[in-house]
Amino acid sequence: MSLAEELALWTHEQKCRKAVESLGKNGFTALYCSTGAEAAEYIVNAAESARTVGFGGSMSIAALGVQGVLQQQGKEILNHSSPDLSREQKLEVMRRQLTSDLFLTGSNALTLNGELVNIDATGNRVAAMFFGPRMVIVVVGRNKLVDGTPQDAIMRVKNWATPPNAKRLSFVTPCAHTGFCANCNAPDRLCRVTTIIDRKPRAVDLRVLVVNAELGF
């Protein structure tokens, strides 16, 4: 590792640790992870007593490779992104995720003040983040950190998360073609439900892993 790379990694670490500190002040259980592998290990250990594990369609979670490990351990996997599901089956899986023992997801943005900011098309992911599952683990890569307000975080989501996600899901939206938010009214519009979790919700064990790695969009 070059000196420049070492210093960049150190700088990212300080910002990650600042976010973890702020999350702790806001009542969340928060942990700094130096690598994705460290985050994956934490998730597998936390899932020990879980029988059902919901997946919120997160690229960050997918990058950790935990689904296969949990499946091998006999967990029932609730993943609405499975390609063989019909629309009605997907909706049923989404409903069951709301009462899963463990729900795994990413976050579109996390401010250094410890606020989780997300935008959904259906709302199933964000709904499961703050009520329903016994435990929720949110994985946030360093690329999701925002040094600013929740409004700055919303702009981060619309400019950097929604366009690639729309393209990934083959949605017919302006941003899927141009890469820029047009605040559209397209039938496939993703930006429909915006949430800001600024304090730990009272009725869920919500944990946030802040990872010093690029994860998701």
pLDDT interval class at 58 (50, 70, 90): very high
Average pLDDT over residues 179-207: 97
At residue 53, the pLDDT reads 98
Express each pLDDT in 118-136 by its tens digit: 999 999 999 999 999 999 9
- How many helices (H) and strands (E) are present in the chain, helices listed first? 9, 10
Q: How far is residue 171's CA from residue 122's CA, in Å, rounded to a whole number?
A: 13
Average pLDDT over residues 88-92: 97
At residue 152, the pLDDT reads 98
CATH topology of domain 24-211: Rossmann fold (3.40.50)
**Which sequence spans correspond to the domains of the chain?**
24-211
Average of per-residue pLDDT values in the chain: 97
Q: What's the pTM?
A: 0.97
Half-sphere exposure of 128 (CA within 13 A, CB side): 32
pLDDT interval class at 154 (50, 70, 90): very high
71 contacts 77 by C-beta, under 8 angstroms: yes
Express each pLDDT in 73-83 by its tens digit: 999 999 999 99
Average pLDDT over residues 47-66: 98
pLDDT interval class at 201 (50, 70, 90): very high
- CA 165-82-216 angle, to 5 degrees, is 30
22 contacts 198 by C-beta, under 8 angstroms: no
At residue 104, the pLDDT reads 98
**Which run of H or of E encompasses 129?**
helix 124-130
**In the structure encoding, which two tokens stand for residue 85, read together?**
């599901």
156 Cβ partners below 8 Å, 6+ apart? 108, 109, 117, 144, 146
- Going across the sheet that includes 193-197, the strands are 145-146, 109-111, 116-120, 193-197
